[in-house]
Amino acid sequence: MIIILLGPPGAGKGTQAKVLVEKLKIPHISTGDLLRQNVKNNTPFGIEARGYMEKGELVPDTLVNDMLLARIKVDDTKNGFILDGYPRNNAQAKILEDKLDKSDGIYVVYLQTSEPVVIQRLSGRRVCTKCGANFHLKNMPPKKEGICDICGGALYQRPDDHEETIKRRLDVYLKETASVVDYYDKKEMLYRISADDDPDIVVDKIIALAKPNRI
Ligand code: AMP
């Protein structure tokens, strides 16, 4: 089973994916997370990607495609995976289509939300420097300010979660990524779900699509 989560930055793709991992026992593959790991470790990928990411722009396809294709070949994906942040344009969607086995169940979920919700979610997001857990200053504050509830690591604000960069990411989304929604819609592969509901409700709706007998 392959679940592809689409939607603007801040639609909650990462949050939904983490719960889906627990419930479906398949890995979460986020190209944003993979890139941030490369940036943190100063790999050649990371050094090239950093500038684009800090400006809120897309990292060139050649870099992202190689990284993603290597990741989906790893053994833990044999029962499927949840993809978050990829494809971000139609060229990436075509590359992915060529690589996926058509007999796998492929569910493309479009998490719909609005710009004010996105800005509120992203500008308040804080991430743990150690374990990567996400918090929100208002919606999900840590018990102790600036400290991760799970591992005690320091929380930080992603450089691309500052308001100006959020706006740039939304522009890029509208210009380059929104067409991916049409791409899958035309192929009749798209399921639309409101991302403004409580995360548990959104996750149950996604699972109901992929495993209709489960809930
Ligand atoms: P995300 O965590 O998905 O919001 O991604 C953070 C940043 O990583 C984006 O703003 C892009 O700069 C870069 N990125 C993530 N996924 C892709 C992708 N599929 N193609 C190009 N750039 C990407």
- Is the minimum distance from the CB of 31 to ligand 1 under 6 angstroms? yes
Using most ligand atoms within 8 A of CB, pick from 18, 29, 35, 174 the residue to mutate for ligand 1: 35
* pTM of this structure: 0.89
pLDDT at residue 49 in the model: 96
Please tell me if the CB atom of residue 12 comes closer than 6 angstroms to any atom of ligand 1.
Answer: no
Is the backbone peptide bond immediately before 87 cis, with ω within 30 degrees of 0? yes
Q: Which residues are catalytic?
A: 13, 88, 125, 158, 169
Ligand 1 pocket, residue 169 CB under 6 Å: yes
pLDDT value for 179: 93
pLDDT in tens, 29-63: 999 999 999 999 999 999 999 999 999 999 999 99
Query: Measuring CA to CA, which residue among 130, 126, 77, 84 is closest to residue 99?
Result: 77
Residue 198 CA to ligand 1 centre (angstroms):
25
Mean pLDDT score of the chain: 92
pLDDT of residue 101: 77
CA atoms within 13 A on the CB side of 172: 18
Tell me the mean pLDDT in the region 9-16.
90
CA of 159 to the centre of ligand 1 (A): 13
Instruction: Report the C-alpha gap between 73 and 7 in whole angstroms.
Output: 25
Question: Each residue of 74-110: pLDDT tens digit?
Answer: 999 999 999 999 999 999 999 999 988 777 789 999 9
Query: Using 50, 70 and 90 to split pLDDT, how confident is the model at 197?
Result: confident
Q: Which domains does the chain have, with CATH numbers?
A: 2-26+79-113+164-213 (3.40.50.300)
pLDDT band, residue 213 (cuts 50/70/90) = low
Pocket test for ligand 1, best of 40, 88, 96 (most atoms within 8 A of CB): 88
Q: Is residue 9 lining ligand 1, measured as CB closer than 6 Å?
A: yes
Which residues, in sequence order, are CB contacts of 195 under 8 Å at separation 6+? 7, 11, 12, 16, 111, 112, 113, 117, 202
214 pLDDT more than 60 = no
Separation of 102 CA from ligand 1 center, angstroms? 26
